Structure formats: structure tokens, C-alpha cells
Amino acid sequence: MKLKYITTDFADELSTNFDQYRQYYQLEKKEELINLFNENSFVSSIEAELPKLDFSEDVGESDTINAQRLYEALKHLTPHEAADERLWIYLFHVNYYDFLRYRVPKTRANDLETGKFNNSAVLFTGNNERKGRGKTINYLSRLWWAGYFACIDGNYDLLPLITKSDFSSNMILLFGGSRQFANNLTLSHGYLKAMKKFFDNYDHPNRNRNYYEEGMQYLSLRSSSEMLDMFDESEIETMVYEHLIDIYG
């Protein structure tokens, strides 16, 4: 099948006047919502077979499974194509409507029936004014991006470090905004390998933000005096791992 996008005008309309569309997220208006998005879409030249997604009760397990499935199916997308909000917003509301209804309410305080949810839950906007960052927050697009940053030659062992808990926070911390990891897979792979090795070898069951932030701050400090682009994955892994041992080991 060929993937579809919503039009640029409709994307702008949703972003600007989203409150007018909240009513469409009630379950009884499913067909109206899907028709609305189909009426404001166009067919692209991108061929893909979309995978079925997992709806497990354990949301961390589900996100991990789905990130692998979605990225594996759509890994032929370029980063530029995968950063396009028009693609993911269409997929989320039409092809993956059932996933939208499953995943959005999993976050506390989101209620599709009453319309009490931030539009960032379904779009690339809301509390986030930078749409580039939106790809790491949207419940569907972030699955692809987690796979992109974690997959190495078809191996997804690093993926749970991002997806199992605090998924949004991890994506924003590691790859959101101006983070240099967003454009350097060598850095992201080396960093994630170091985190996995540290957690595997040391008894730190609470894999909270502090560990990730510590490793990030260390690399940021190193980058002020050294060109990190000159290091390979194993060198990045070693320097981050040894730093974490010094601090927490």
C-alpha cells in the first residue's frame, strides 16, 4: 500500500484551531473523524506494509514491541520523511485509530471522551512549540524514532532502555531539541551501549532519569573540549561506562 499524508493546510488548521475538533475523539464519532482525515489527505509515493501493533496491558512492554514492529516495517523511510508530522498524524488517526484509543488514555489525565487531553497527545503541537521535538512525543511517531536510534544491524537489544519506562522523558532527554545525538547514530549507539552495560553489571534497578542525565552531561562536557565525532561507538561506550562507574558504581 502507499502511505497517505494529511494536507499541510489541514495540519495547520488542527494546530491552530484544535479545540474545534475535540468532539471527534469520542468513540461514537469514530467514522466522522476518519472521514475528516481522509477528506484532507493525499496519497504519497511511499510503499509500505503496515504492521499490527500490540495492545498489552503493560504499556512499557507494548511500546517496546511496537517500536520494533513499526521501525522494522518502515525502516526504509529517511529521517526527513519520518520527521513529517503529516504522515504520522494521518496514520495515527486512520490506520492506527484503535492504537490511538488504546495508548492516549494510558497516560494519566488523558480522557478522549471528555476532550480532556493536550493536543500534543495526538498531534505534534500543544505544549511543545517546536515541531521537531514533537516527533519524540507523539505516541506513534516516537515508536519509529526509538527504533531508529536503538537498532543496530537488525538488533534491538538497546531498545528497552528507551521504551520500557519514562518513554517520552527518555526521548526528549536523549534526542529532543538540539541534542547532538539526534544527528549522530555513533554517539547514540555508544551511549546506549554504555547504559545497558552499566545496568547489566551493577545493581541499579531504578533506571531513572538521573543516570541518563549524568551520562548526557558528561558527554556534553567532553564535547566542549573534544570533537566527539572523532570517536567510534566503542570509545563512546567506554568513556560513558567508566564515568558512570566512577559516579554510581
- What is 30-73 written as a DSSP string? HHHHHHHHHHTEEEEEEE--PPP----SSHHHHHHHHHHHHHHH
Amino acid of residue 247 = I
Higher pLDDT, 156 or 210: 156
With contact defined as beta carbons under 8 Å apart, do 244 and 198 qualify? yes
Higher pLDDT, 133 or 85: 85
User: Across residues 61-81, what is the average pLDDT?
Assistant: 97
| Paired strand residues for 152 | 155
3-state secondary structure of 47: strand
pLDDT above 70 (res 59):
yes
Q: Which of 127-131, 151-155, 208-212, 244-248 has the lowest mean pLDDT?
A: 127-131
3-state secondary structure of 46: strand
Q: Which of 114, 117, 87 is nearest to 103 (CA)?
A: 117
pLDDT of residue 173: 81
| pLDDT, mean over the chain | 90
Q: Which of 239, 246, 241, 238 is nearest to 225 (CA)?
A: 239
pLDDT of residue 89: 97
| Paired strand residues for 6 | 41
3-state secondary structure of 4: strand
- Across the chain, how many H-helices and E-strands are there? 13, 2
pLDDT above 80 (res 41):
yes
pLDDT above 80 (res 133):
no
Q: Which of 220, 140, 106 is nearest to 174 (CA)?
A: 220
Measured CA to CA, the distance from residue 229 to residue 85 in angstroms comes to 29
- pTM of the full structure: 0.93
Under the banding of pLDDT at 50, 70 and 90, the label for residue 128 is very low
Tell me the Cα Rg of the chain: 19
With contact defined as beta carbons under 8 Å apart, do 211 and 248 qualify? yes
Under the banding of pLDDT at 50, 70 and 90, the label for residue 226 is confident
Under the banding of pLDDT at 50, 70 and 90, the label for residue 76 is very high
Phi, then psi, of 199 in degrees rounded to 5: -65, -35
Q: Which of 37, 25, 6, 186 is nearest to 117 (CA)?
A: 25
pLDDT above 90 (res 207):
no
Instruction: Output the nine-digit C-alpha cell for 239.
Output: 568513556
Q: Which of 39, 130, 144 is nearest to 96 (CA)?
A: 144
Phi, then psi, of 44 in degrees rounded to 5: -90, 180
With contact defined as beta carbons under 8 Å apart, do 148 and 174 qualify? no
